[in-house]
């Protein structure tokens, strides 16, 4: 009898494996949609600046690059990171737009582009944001860093921690405003990364970055006086759809910009570093954006996978698990026919209990002409315990001996 049950159990396991294999074969399906894969890294756009990159903001796809990982001085484009940390703090509730910022002697002593604050002067966070983004005030950037972290060195530490978190591999900040220092550097790619983080996580930045003219009121012991703010980003008026983000210049850095623009629901980020003149900087940012808008299209899968999709599990108290729902996914591509993409749901082989909620159970693959262009992992939506020995024997008996 014992050898009989051993043979039967072996047969059942073989049957289960065969069934799983069959399920794997029929569990994938294809969907023809619109996508293109023609990343033109070799296209010649005539970019003469030291470094450049073009990124589609929603997906983060790089559409063009030139020396994009070269470490260069960023000048005031540094303030993109300063602004990112400020907006993060606002979103977390650590500060509000109405909080009062007291200008320190250190902040007031900043050279370069400034809003001419006096030590002890008080300003609201909202007005400081305008000073940083619109007028590129070094004093305002340092004052906000001190307000958030207690000191500029501590704020710079947070800037570098954020850069590391975002995967900015060629960046080291020394100050909050972008004044030249041999150890203060970043790359076009890293500027693109932090710019994308800022505009996608905090799109309210566009409410300030598009301000052309404004003013603040200085409030000092000598009384009140108006200080006019003029946007340093003249590209806003030179390119249709431009809505940000930050310019920079020093004699060592040259002319730099992180330029953002939106047309037909597509937002692009064009970074230029080390241009010889501001005219070249703006012209070449425009070339990048023209190229992107003429070529870039975005494919949207409105339902990647829903939790009604059954996935076979061996040796579990339940026969199936279900994936966590993945609603929308977007892929940006360049040019071409919009009919070649295929989507395939692939379940991992030999899925056995126990399965815990959140365990990887497969991937969704998007491909063109057999080449996978993106993958999304699938995770189990539920826990499935391993079937006990007693329950396995009972199921085995029920399979072979049906009692009427």
- Residues labelled as active-site residues: 76, 79, 136
Q: Are 129 and 79 in contact (CB under 8 A)?
A: no
Please report, for residues 38, 54, 268, the alpha-carbon distance to residue 334 in angstroms, rounded to integers and kept in the order given. Answer: 5, 12, 13
Nearest CA to 308 out of 322, 329, 319, 326 is that of 322
**In this structure, what are the phi and psi dihedrals at residue 87, rounded to the nearest 5 degrees?**
-65, -35
Angle between helices 389-400 and 2-26 (to 10 degrees): 90
Q: Are 146 and 248 in contact (CB under 8 A)?
A: no
Planar angle of CA 199, 201, 202, nearest 5 degrees: 60
Q: Are 60 and 196 in contact (CB under 8 A)?
A: yes
Biggest alpha carbon–alpha carbon distance for the chain: 103
How far is it, in rounded angstroms, from Cα 299 to Cα 225? 52
């Amino acid at each position: 009898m014992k050898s009989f049950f051993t043979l039967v159990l072996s047969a059942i396991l073989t049957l289960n494996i065969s069934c799983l294999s069959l399920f794997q074969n029929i569990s994938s399906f294809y969907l023809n949609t619109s996508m293109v894969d023609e990343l033109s890294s070799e296209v010649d756009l005539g970019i003469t600046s030291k470094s450049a990159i073009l990124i589609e903001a929603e997906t983060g796809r790089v559409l063009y690059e030139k020396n994009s990982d070269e470490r260069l001085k960023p000048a005031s484009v540094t303030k993109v990171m300063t602004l990112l940390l400020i907006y993060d703090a606002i979103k977390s509730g650590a500060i509000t737009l109405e909080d009062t910022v007291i200008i320190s002697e250190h902040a007031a002593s900043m050279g370069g582009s400034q809003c001419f604050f006096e030590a002890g002067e008080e300003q609201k966070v909202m007005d400081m944001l305008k000073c940083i983004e619109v007028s590129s005030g070094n004093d305002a950037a340092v004052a906000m860093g001190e307000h958030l972290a207690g000191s500029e060195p501590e704020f710079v530490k947070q800037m570098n921690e954020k850069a590391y978190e975002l995967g900015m591999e060629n960046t080291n900040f020394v100050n909050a405003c972008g004044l030249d220092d041999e150890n203060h550097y970043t790359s076009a790619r890293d500027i693109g990364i932090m710019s994308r983080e800022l505009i996608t996580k905090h799109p309210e930045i566009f409410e300030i970055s598009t301000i052309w003219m404004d003013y603040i009121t200085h409030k000092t012991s000598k009384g009140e006086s108006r200080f006019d703010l003029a946007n340093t980003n003249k590209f806003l008026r030179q390119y249709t759809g431009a809505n940000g983000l930050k310019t920079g210049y020093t004699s060592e850095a040259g002319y730099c910009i992180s330029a953002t623009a939106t047309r037909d629901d597509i937002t692009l980020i064009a970074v230029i570093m080390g241009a010889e003149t501001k005219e070249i900087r703006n012209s070449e940012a425009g070339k990048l954006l023209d190229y992107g808008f003429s070529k870039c299209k975005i494919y949207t899968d409105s339902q990647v996978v829903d939790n009604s999709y059954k996935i076979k599990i061996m040796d579990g108290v339940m026969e199936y698990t279900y994936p966590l729902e993945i609603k929308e996914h977007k892929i940006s591509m360049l040019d071409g026919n919009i009919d070649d993409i295929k989507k395939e749901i692939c379940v991992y082989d030999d899925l056995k209990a126990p399965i815990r909620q959140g365990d990887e159970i497969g991937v969704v693959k998007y491909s063109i002409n057999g080449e996978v262009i993106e993958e999304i992992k699938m995770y189990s939506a539920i826990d499935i315990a391993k079937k006990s020995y007693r329950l396995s024997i009972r199921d085995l008996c029920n399979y072979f001996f049906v009692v009427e």
